[in-house]
Structure 1
Amino acid sequence: MTAGDALTLFDDPDPVSEAPVDDRMLRVRQIYAEPAAASSSRGRQVIARFPDAEVVEVPSHWQIPDLHGNAGNVDRWVRVKTETLVLGVKKSLAARPNERSANWIAPSTANGCAMACAYCYVPRRKGYANPITVFTNIDQITGYVRRHVARQGVKPAPDQCDPVSWVYDIGENSDCSVDAMVSDNVADLIATFRGLPTAKASFATKYVNRQLLDLDPAGRTRIRFSVMPDDDARLLDIRTSRVDERIAAVDDFVSAGYEVHLNLSPVVLRDGWERDWTTLLRQLDDTLSPAAKAQAAAEVILLTHNRDLHEVNLGWHPKAEDLLWRPEIQQPKRSGNGQDNVRYRNDVKRAGVATLRSLIAAHAPWLDVRYAF
């Protein structure tokens, strides 16, 4: 059935907020939906934004044979991201401690992404395809977040996440800037944290969505624009906003009431990387306003890769693996979620972090590094 047919099975949808969809990013033709998700207010909103899409009922957002574990989707890697959405209900609500980028990882309101960064860890858990899954029980999620924040009380001491506020990452498994085109989940999260004086939301992004400028975050949401040298990004950051566009947007988001940090991520070690990161740091220094620099901070994250994802990439984007797969300087790393990853050898990584810190000190001394790993 089409989305229009599906809507006739339920009450009339709530009015659809105007959120133009970038049709270069999303041309949705198929929406897999759990019945409870499709019939919810948020589910009806998503379906109404894509009126020509076919709605296919599924028992679970994790049980979609055409997507999960279908190796044939390697040949359709980007097409699946462009043309498919999934609607589900988030069953388990929990905030996990993090203590790196954020104090807590908030319950997801989405996972998967319409972009196709070659090093992304999310598809490692979903098997050959990771289009956006929207969790429609947003009121339950925001209610849980409010209660969790209340239980923490006032933050007792500064830490590397923030000197005053508890920080909650709201986009661990997705890119919130793109999610905001699909539903109002991100707008609802930003509104939630606007009313929480002891906490702030945080998410990393590689997409400049200027609709977010109208959401009045009141300083309670931190956006972390991920940046890397443009030559690396053109090869590895597929379907994202160009790095120049991300940098150019920083001042506008600061003016709109966001705290804006930078993720220097991932740092890919290859011939000439020091020269290209020097160019990028000088660009940041030349471009950002004094107001943006005064509130900026950075995370430095050297590349971690994955053997299974390496095999997937060889099926759709093998050139990326020339940079990402460097066994002569990499070592195995067992991740916290049980994945078999690879990262740079300890000595190589240690030297890379030290070099980048020295480049930051020389060319962007205003940029405080919150952590590096």
Structure 2
Amino acid sequence: MLTIEKNLLNITDIYYEPVVKTLPRGVELLMQFPDATLHEVESHWKIPHLHGFEGSAEHWNQIKRNILIIGVKKSVSTRPNTRSSNFVAPSLANGCTMSCIYCYVPRRKGYANPITVFANIEQILRHIERHAAKQGVKTEPDQIDPEYWVYDIGENSDCSVDALLSNNVKDTIELFKRLPNAKATFATKYVNNDMLSYDPRGKARIRFSLMPAGISKILDVRTSPISERIAAINNFVDAGWEVHINFSPVVFYENWIKDYKLLLQEIDDTLHEKAKQQLKSEVIFLTHNDKLHEVNLQWHPKGESYIWHPEIQETKYSQTGGRNLRYKRNLKAELVDAFRTLLAAQLPYCEIRYIF
């Protein structure tokens, strides 16, 4: 039985697709929460009380804490990627119990978007194994990895939290340990010490997302404290994980450079030599969304005061037509240069894999 913090997840209601009861992982999940009220639904995408739930923002965190959805991943496919990984693997889950107010994932499925665990894990793993076999040996190093094809397994969820609910993540790491030419990666804002026992043998890269602690308390709602994430880096490196830092999102506000100096100093003071030698980072400046802004104003307006500033942001339309905001080009160029300079001065051993 997996150990779950009740203040993070206290499942009272489970919505599930009928086929879930025929799959081992689905049965395991249903048995794990015997006191939960069960609701059979046609599709994990079509739940009237949840899909399009931006109108009930006052229940935002309650939904994320109390509701679990169990479904089947219908489109099991892998697509190319260019920054954090070579490929994006089929999702093991969708949604999150944490409430980072800038996150793009909630916009895809009802905004509050509690966790949906996909029960057809065997099908997903077979697909990944076949896809990796087709790639063959990686003959040319790139900024992603010098040796392995890297698959992001957590694009639409936080794998560290997903691993509290099922063995989907553990099973996936076991697969990559067997694959001769590939490794897994995911970003996280939660420290799950149970994952120290996974023994990935260098075939999994965890990217701890970090920002200054003060602003994290406002923007990273229901996540592990920044100091706890930093302290975990040593432990995960010692346990056979490759550990990088995901400085994301970088938010521009008064005294941001001062706060990042303190953050980088804490990293340097905390990490042991082995962790420093393998450390790399990725840096992603804030992108926001107009509709998510309107929802956030209903439940967390203080956070919006840090990330919604149209006077210094410009519109960027997504492929689906959504209106996103990012820092204006000239300002962003200055911010990128400032961050590069600061990181080089304080963590000269930490290579930036990419920054934008």
Smaller-chain TM-score bracket: over 0.9
Q: Deviations over 1:46-82 (max 9, x none)?
A: 1122111011000000010000113442110000000
Shift of 1:128: 3.1
**How far apart, CA to CA, are the structure 2 residues paired with 1:38 and 1:227?**
39
Q: In the alignment, which residue of structure 2 is the partner of 1:343?
A: 326
Q: Does residue 267 of structure 2 align to residue 266 of structure 1?
A: no
Partner AA of 1:371 in structure 2 = Y
Q: Does residue 184 of structure 2 align to residue 216 of structure 1?
A: no
Q: In the alignment, which residue of structure 2 is the partner of 1:28?
A: 11
Distance 1:188 1:126, change over 3 A: same
* Residue aligned with 2:221, SS: coil
Q: In the alignment, which residue of structure 1 is the partner of 2:239?
A: 256
Q: Does residue 65 of structure 2 align to residue 82 of structure 1?
A: yes
Q: Deviations over 1:228-284 (max 9, x none)?
A: 000110000000000000000000000110000000111000000001001111111
**How far apart, CA to CA, are the structure 1 residues paired with 2:329 and 2:233?**
33
For 1:131, which of 88, 91, 114 is the aligned residue?
A: 114
* Residue aligned with 1:309, SS: helix
**How far apart, CA to CA, are the structure 2 residues paired with 1:225 and 1:265?**
10
Q: In the alignment, which residue of structure 2 is the partner of 1:166?
A: 149
The equivalences for 1:293-304 within 5 A come to: 293-304=276-287
Moved over 4 A (4+): none
For 1:316, which of 290, 299, 304 is the aligned residue?
A: 299
Partner AA of 2:129 in structure 1 = R
Q: Deviations over 1:113-168 (max 9, x none)?
A: 00000101011111232000001000000000000000000112111111111010
Partner AA of 1:89 in structure 2 = V
Q: In the alignment, which residue of structure 2 is the partner of 1:59?
A: 42
Q: In the alignment, which residue of structure 1 is the partner of 2:338?
A: 355
Unaligned runs of 5+ in 1: 1-17
Partner AA of 1:146 in structure 2 = E
Shift of 1:339: 2.7
**How far apart, CA to CA, are the structure 1 residues paired with 2:222 and 2:313?**
27
The equivalences for 1:112-261 within 5 A come to: 112-261=95-244
* Residue aligned with 1:328, SS: helix
**How far apart, CA to CA, are the structure 1 residues paired with 2:221 and 2:59?**
14
Q: In the alignment, which residue of structure 2 is the partner of 1:110?
A: 93
Q: Deviations over 1:315-337 (max 9, x none)?
A: 10000110010101100112244
Partner AA of 1:159 in structure 2 = D
* Residue aligned with 1:55, SS: strand
- The answer to whether the 8 Å contact 1:38/1:87 transfers is no
Partner AA of 2:139 in structure 1 = P
**How far apart, CA to CA, are the structure 2 residues paired with 1:195 and 1:329?**
48
**How far apart, CA to CA, are the structure 1 residues paired with 2:348 and 2:63?**
42
For 2:56, which of 73, 92, 100 is the aligned residue?
A: 73
Aligned residues: 356
The equivalences for 1:325-340 within 5 A come to: 325-340=308-323
Partner AA of 1:208 in structure 2 = V
**How far apart, CA to CA, are the structure 2 residues paired with 1:140 and 1:329?**
46
Partner AA of 1:143 in structure 2 = R
* Residue aligned with 1:234, SS: helix
**How far apart, CA to CA, are the structure 1 residues paired with 2:54 and 2:91?**
26
- The answer to whether the 8 Å contact 1:73/1:128 transfers is no
Q: In the alignment, which residue of structure 2 is the partner of 1:94?
A: 77
Q: In the alignment, which residue of structure 2 is the partner of 1:10?
A: none
Partner AA of 2:236 in structure 1 = F
Unaligned runs of 5+ in 2: none
- Between the two proteins, what is the percent identity of the paired residues? 54
**How far apart, CA to CA, are the structure 2 residues paired with 1:77 and 1:22?**
18
* Residue aligned with 1:65, SS: coil
Q: What TM-score, normalized to structure 1?
A: 0.94
Q: In the alignment, which residue of structure 2 is the partner of 1:7?
A: none
Distance 1:337 1:295, change over 3 A: farther
